[in-house]
Amino acid sequence: MTFRLTAPEAKTIKTLSFVPPKEYTMSGGWSLFTSPKRDLGVIKLLFCWPCGTAHKAAPTLARATQTLRLSGNKNLSAEEIQEGFEYWGAAANLDVGLLSSTLVLQTQKQHLEQSLKWLMEQGAEPVFPEKELSVFKQVETASLLRRMQTPRYWSSRLCFEALYGKDSADTRFENPEDIENLRVAELKNWFEKHLRFPAARLFASGDFGDEERAVVESLLGTAAPLQQPASFSQTQNPEFKSNIRHGMEHAQQVSLYMGKRLPRLTIQEMQTASFVNMFLGGFFGSRLMQDLRETRGLTYGIGSGLTPSAHGFTWYINGEMNSQNAEKAAVATREIMLGLTSSPPVGEELEKARRYVSGQLRAGFDGPFSLPAKWQFLLQNNLPESYYATYMDRIWSITTDEISVFADNYLRPDSFTLALAGKLS
């Protein structure tokens, strides 16, 4: 059994191995990106509009419009339209992010023509029936009120509002009255301006080849010129708050949320930020997870990340813990942030993160449906096709000093807002 004493050699991953999507301009002017065909029997068609909640004229409008775009037209009700998809085993999944709106048509290959035809016919001219908007308001208000009972909701909301102000494009939190104030005419206007089918980019993946492309081409019609992503007016910086506390009587835990505004970064800075974040709380082996969870057992999970904002990124840290551990966790988190400057990763820690991130970067391209989201990210952020390959290079070339300097520039704890919500001791 001595063979068990020695770990098999783990090879480093330094290259990516994927076939990039092909871009086609179809006869109607549509831009279509296709992933390599896989023999699965199913297809995903992703329609993506460069418009999300950050482009809002009023809170919730972008979300409500996208959610209700298949809720009825002058001939058919929401139920009849939905039934048409389900009959073919298809689904049209709608979503809205900060900077984009998406519709994913999931269908069996054998039903591609029927389900796409149905989508294009029934989804082109929505009327947003009053009844459907009324149900939307009722369901969404109840759901919002339930979320408002959780510590996590309030820690993140109060942190974002402190960072960006309540009315900024980046404050994605809505109130019951925002939902109540929605009007059909506003939804129609929003749809006309931003969400018509021809204004979308299209990505196909799964069992999608030349025959399927011909089917899509025959059904799409003529595209409108793609919209440029809207620009946003710079929001006023609210007065900086370092500490926010929000007590919740019924809560059993405390949610910790720390956040900081980052400006728009260069490609290399984005890659550096992404890699530095891994050491902070970006994976299980990060300093936050290892210290707060694995060494001290203070939390089930704590992590950090970078989320896009209208003008750059927000760097955030979030976790839930016992009330008596919350202040302890906040102090430890600050120490870990400072530690990335004073004792940046070297040797084994640096090597392990490089190996982990490079392996995961490559694995992220695995599977038949992985490419569309990655290409959507590139197009949305005006990044070159080489972004992922250069990130791989950056992982292996970044130095300890660069990490330390970057952490000193962007991760000083006193530049972050800390919000604690829940059962405060």
Partner 1 sequence: MISFSRFVLPNGLRVIHHYDPDSSVVVLNTLFNVGARDESSDKTGFAHLFEHLMFGGSKNVLSYDKAVENAGGSNNAFTNNEYTNYYISVPAENAETAFWLESDRMFQLNINPQTLEVQRGVVVEEFKQRCHNAPFGLLWHHLRGLLYRKSPYRWPAIGEDLSHIENAMLEDVSAFYKKYYHPANAILCVAGQISEEETRTLCEKWYADIAPTGEVNNNLYISDPLPKTRRFMETEDPSPNPAVFMVWRGPAFQDPESVALEFFADLLGGSEISPIYTLWVKENLVFNDAAAFYVRSHNEGLFVLYGVLNEGETHAHGEKCLLETLSDAIAGKFFTERHMERVKNKATSALLFEKASLINRAQKLCYFENIGEINRVQDEDAVYRNVSLQVMLKTAAGNINPDAAAVLYYHPKQSS
Subset of 322-341 contacting partner 1 (CB under 8 A): 322
Question: In the complex with partner 1, which residue's Cβ is closer, 2 or 233?
Answer: 2
The correct pick among 76, 120, 135, 244 for binding partner 1 (CB under 8 A) is: 135
Contact assessment for residue 333 and residue 258, using Cβ atoms and an 8 Å cutoff: yes
Binding flag, residue 367, partner 1 (CB under 8 A): yes
Binding flag, residue 358, partner 1 (CB under 8 A): yes
Binding flag, residue 414, partner 1 (CB under 8 A): no
In the complex, the smallest distance separating the C-beta of residue 138 from partner 1, rounded to whole angstroms, is 5
Question: In the complex with partner 1, which residue's Cβ is closer, 224 or 363?
Answer: 363
Binding flag, residue 107, partner 1 (CB under 8 A): yes
The correct pick among 58, 78, 127, 267 for binding partner 1 (CB under 8 A) is: 78
Helix extents (H) in 40-89: 61-67, 78-87
How many Cα neighbours within 13 Å face the side chain of 348?
1
Binding flag, residue 86, partner 1 (CB under 8 A): yes
Binding flag, residue 54, partner 1 (CB under 8 A): no
Measured distance CA(201)–CA(38) in Å, rounded: 22
Let me know the angle formed at the C-alpha of 93 by 87 and 99, rounded to the nearest 5 degrees. 160
263 to 302, contacts with partner 1 by CB under 8 A? 283-285, 293-300
In the complex, the smallest distance separating the C-beta of residue 323 from partner 1, rounded to whole angstroms, is 10
CA separation (Å) from 97 to 1, 50, 80, 94, 390? 53, 10, 27, 10, 26
In the complex, the smallest distance separating the C-beta of residue 217 from partner 1, rounded to whole angstroms, is 23
Which range binds partner 1 by CB under 8 A, 175-183, 191-199, 211-219, 367-375? Answer: 367-375
Measured distance CA(376)–CA(370) in Å, rounded: 11
Question: In the complex with partner 1, which residue's Cβ is closer, 191 or 365?
Answer: 365
303 to 322, contacts with partner 1 by CB under 8 A? 320-322
**Site size with partner 1, rule: CB under 8 A:** 79
Question: What region does 102 belong to: left with phi over 0, alpha with psi -120 to 50, or beta?
Answer: beta
142 to 181, contacts with partner 1 by CB under 8 A? 142-143, 145-146, 148-152
Binding flag, residue 42, partner 1 (CB under 8 A): yes
Question: In the complex with partner 1, which residue's Cβ is closer, 52 or 282?
Answer: 282
Measured distance CA(293)–CA(286) in Å, rounded: 10
CB-count burial class (<10 Å; 0-12, 13-18, 19+) for 236: exposed
Measured distance CA(260)–CA(115) in Å, rounded: 44
Tokens found for residue 322: 């016992």
Binding flag, residue 117, partner 1 (CB under 8 A): no
Binding flag, residue 19, partner 1 (CB under 8 A): no
Helix extents (H) in 263-308: 267-277, 287-288
